[in-house]
């Protein structure tokens, strides 16, 4: 009986993995189109720091325990510089819910946007509506009293998503600035940020 149950669990897990793989393979068509359209190699949002929570990992804090993380969290001391990963336009810059402050940049409409959470509203933030270049300073990671989500560990929450922010609803788990998703984030058109950046580098050698 136990073996049958375990086999059932395994089967279910494999089904889940297959569904995710299937969706990611469907998604890859759009990812390739976005990479072709973007016409630039993306960079990293900060000088390389260790990831403390990976893309698609389950939430590491109780309130997100059964949700997938739609971003990578990079450990960074308060005040660490955050850079635009590619040329684009600042769609949002300011205080936003659990992020403390948030910056969102749209790239090559229609196509792709990047999101930078737990930046500091107090130090300095790039102005909404301006054009930015890849590698341009857009803000600094938040100070200890500005809130980080994962306990008191300062970090940058960094996402890349297909489409434009206004393609997504203003509320619920699939909204334009969501940090956690109910299903694997690929189902909400998020991509693995580091993998995507690598793909843009291969697609657009500098
Ligand atoms: Zn995060």
In sequence order, which residues have a C-beta less than 8 Å from that of residue 121 and are 6 or more positions away? 94, 95, 100, 101, 142, 146
Rg of the Cα atoms in the chain: 17
- Classified as helix, coil or strand, 23 is helix
pLDDT band at 4 (very low <50, low <70, confident <90, very high): low
Is pLDDT of 63 > 70? yes
In sequence order, which residues have a C-beta less than 8 Å from that of residue 25 and are 6 or more positions away? none
Sign of CA dihedral 68, 73, 79, 80: negative
pLDDT band at 67 (very low <50, low <70, confident <90, very high): very high
Q: What is the pLDDT of residue 165?
A: 94
| Ligand 1 centroid from CA 182, angstroms | 15
In sequence order, which residues have a C-beta less than 8 Å from that of residue 161 and are 6 or more positions away? 70, 112, 113, 114, 115, 188, 189, 190, 191
In sequence order, which residues have a C-beta less than 8 Å from that of residue 148 and are 6 or more positions away? 100, 118, 142, 154, 155
- Classified as helix, coil or strand, 148 is coil
| Ligand 1 centroid from CA 3, angstroms | 37
| Ligand 1 centroid from CA 143, angstroms | 16
**Tens-digit pLDDT profile for residues 121-138:** 999 999 999 999 999 999
| Ligand 1 centroid from CA 20, angstroms | 21
Structure tokens at 173: 């788990």
| Ligand 1 centroid from CA 69, angstroms | 6
| Ligand 1 centroid from CA 202, angstroms | 26
| Ligand 1 centroid from CA 87, angstroms | 23
pLDDT band at 109 (very low <50, low <70, confident <90, very high): low
Position of tokens 């946007």? 113
Q: Mean pLDDT across the stretch 43-71?
A: 90
Q: What distance in Å separates the CA atoms of residue 146 and residue 195, rounded to the nearest whole number?
A: 30
Cβ(200)–Cβ(40) under 8 Å? Answer: yes
| Ligand 1 centroid from CA 201, angstroms | 24
Does residue 85 or residue 146 have the better pLDDT?
85
Is pLDDT of 2 > 70? no
């Amino acid at each position: 009986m136990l073996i049958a149950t375990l086999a059932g669990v395994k089967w279910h897990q494999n089904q889940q993995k297959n569904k995710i793989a299937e969706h990611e393979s469907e998604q890859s068509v759009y990812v390739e189109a976005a990479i072709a359209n973007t016409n630039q190699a993306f960079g990293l949002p900060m000088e390389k720091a260790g990831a403390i929570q990976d893309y698609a990992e389950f939430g590491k804090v109780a309130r997100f325990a059964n949700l997938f993380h739609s971003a990578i969290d990079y450990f960074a001391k308060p005040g660490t510089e955050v850079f635009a990963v590619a040329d684009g336009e600042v769609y949002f810059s300011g205080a936003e819910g659990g992020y403390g402050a948030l910056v969102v940049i749209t790239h090559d409409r229609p196509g792709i946007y990047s999101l930078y959470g737990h930046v500091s509203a107090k130090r300095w933030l790039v102005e909404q509506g301006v054009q930015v270049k890849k590698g341009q300073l857009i803000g600094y990671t938040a100070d200890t009293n500005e809130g980080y989500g994962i306990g008191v560990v300062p970090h940058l929450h960094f996402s890349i998503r297909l489409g434009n922010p206004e393609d997504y609803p203003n509320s619920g788990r699939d909204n334009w600035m969501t940090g956690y998703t109910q299903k694997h984030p690929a189902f909400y058109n998020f991509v693995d940020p580091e993998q995507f950046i690598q793909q843009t580098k291969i697609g657009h050698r500098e």
